[in-house]
Structure 1
């Protein structure tokens, strides 16, 4: 990978952090998952890793949080490794244009989710992982631990169980897809994996490292292992660009200009292919379900560093 050596990322992160700490945060912490409502709403962490594996960090970047839907990129990657292009027969690659848990759209499209990042799409991906692996939870953790360089990285059982107790809509999505023949395994087993997937805990530092393979043409820079082909890495980045922010993907492309994925735990990962991976965490969400401050942090970083992909 190449990198703009003259960019002082540490100085940029410090400037952005100072600017954000003085900004009024009008977001709200996610409460529909009870465990997430307990998080300190004023946390802010940023961590960036460049193409030379240099680390830059400010704020609460070493504090763990629930990455939620950001983990859907990782389950998608593992499913692609197992199934290749045949995966796209069961899930699409288009922006949804509807709520991330829409039943109406799913029925209209006969049980084939619009993309792998809306809830229905991620549930199908979990179904694939259950079909492919005898112990999908263990396989998923093994995969993510290798990417992160942290052998202790794990799920948060309290968050997972909290999600399972309130997953009525996800149950409805799974049953509807089962009716259309797009879920092969037991629904309760599939939803259990889905809830545990979303409960994965990481720090900003761990998350930035985990996603470096998407900044390095599909190669894990810690080990040199080819995680996915360069074509598959390109496609995953493209889906993140188009579908990574619920109903705000266009706004993120417009203001930030990077592939990325958000989660309702307040985290965001963004990738500048061949340059860097950057993770930000601020728990309060805007009306679209994305981190209010996190969106502004990434806009400021790409503006100051002039490092958008556009």
Structure 2
């Protein structure tokens, strides 16, 4: 695994240049209208390492809607708050179904397959709403702490757009409630979930905020324990099997890194004992993953020898 990243800036700029024309192969998410307003030509990439280096290219310092990448942080908060009790209410298996499948949730009696599909993330949101006096404030504070940046914010325009077009998520939450697996009031759970999805961060902020997962649960900047090594292992394992929606198996097979995508076009990849890659490009493939983002992670992983399976 490469330790010297002195020439990485040149590599990143060259990689971005090689991807310039590929944005037309994807489609910007439009089922949340606010996301459809973002330019398809936006493109950024950033690599942060646990020894304090940060290198980026393109639009890597521009904030975007992190969407489902927020599920990683919610999961860490819930695991810290209620421990192994969480796994009585949500499983840790790949779903094999669309990330917002209602049919699977019905079959499995309101127990989500894993915490990074929508039903699982709504269950996690319920845990946070039920165990924090102000879960939204706690979530935003957690994000700012991890990013070492108080400018991280909630995009109210995206939040309102999600709220107005979140009927399927509401259906998932009410279905789980009918099975007794949601404790708080559904509007509160949905409001928290849409709030965390509407957090806006740059590639640089996101990559920095996830370094603890590459460092056995410890923030390498402050040396503070964010989660236990066991929980960091568990989160990375879930991201390896389920973080890229129905493309997770292919991603693990070809790239070999724990990763999570969001329909805002972001992709994060954890490289244990090394650092974090974060990319942003809004056009998505049929799985809901950034076309250019996944390409960039694949190219970097191969060129720098970063797969965890090497």
Distance 1:220 1:240 in 2: 19
CA deviation string 1:276-298 (max 9, x = no partner): 10100000000110001111111
Shift in Å at residue 61 of structure 1? 0.3
CA deviation string 1:99-123 (max 9, x = no partner): 1111110011000000001111000
SS in 1 for 2:74: helix
Over 3 Å counting, the alpha-carbon distance change for 1:27 and 1:185 in structure 2 is same
Shift in Å at residue 6 of structure 1? 3.6
Distance 1:114 1:97 in 2: 9
CA deviation string 1:144-182 (max 9, x = no partner): 111000112121111011011111111111111000000
Conserved 8 A contact 2:44-2:281: yes
Over 3 Å counting, the alpha-carbon distance change for 1:307 and 1:292 in structure 2 is same
Q: Show the counterpart of 1:30.
A: 29
Task: Find runs of 4+ consecutive structure 1 residues off by over 2 angstroms.
Answer: 3-12, 22-25
Shift in Å at residue 24 of structure 1? 5.8
Q: Please, which moves more after superposition, 6-15 or 193-202?
A: 6-15
Once the two structures are superposed, the pairs formed by residues 244-283 of structure 1 within 5 Å of their partners are: 244-283=243-282
Once the two structures are superposed, the pairs formed by residues 21-170 of structure 1 within 5 Å of their partners are: 21-23=20-22, 25-170=24-169
Shift in Å at residue 53 of structure 1? 1.0
- Please report the TM-score for the alignment, with normalisation by the length of structure 1: 0.97
Conserved 8 A contact 1:101-1:170: yes
Distance 1:124 1:268 in 2: 23
Shift in Å at residue 18 of structure 1? 2.0
SS in 1 for 2:224: coil
CA deviation string 1:17-76 (max 9, x = no partner): 121124463100000000000001101100101121101110000111000000000000
What RMSD over aligned residues (CA atoms) do the two structures have, in Å? 1.1
CA deviation string 1:245-298 (max 9, x = no partner): 111001111222110100000000001000110100000000110001111111
Shift in Å at residue 14 of structure 1? 2.3
Conserved 8 A contact 1:91-1:115: yes
Conserved 8 A contact 1:14-1:58: yes
Distance 1:5 1:271 in 2: 16
Distance 2:153 2:230 in 1: 29
Q: Show the counterpart of 2:291.
A: 292
Distance 1:23 1:172 in 2: 35
Q: Show the counterpart of 1:302.
A: 301
- Please report the TM-score for the alignment, with normalisation by the length of structure 2: 0.97
Distance 1:11 1:92 in 2: 42
Q: Please, which moves more after superposition, 151-160 or 278-287?
A: 151-160
Q: Show the counterpart of 1:241.
A: 240
SS in 1 for 2:115: coil
Distance 2:198 2:171 in 1: 20
Conserved 8 A contact 1:284-1:292: yes
Distance 2:91 2:11 in 1: 37
Aligned pairs, number: 308
Conserved 8 A contact 2:115-2:124: yes
Shift in Å at residue 4 of structure 1? 3.2
Conserved 8 A contact 1:204-1:279: yes
Distance 1:6 1:226 in 2: 27
SS in 2 for 1:47: strand
2:2 to 1, 4, 21: 4
Distance 2:19 2:275 in 1: 21
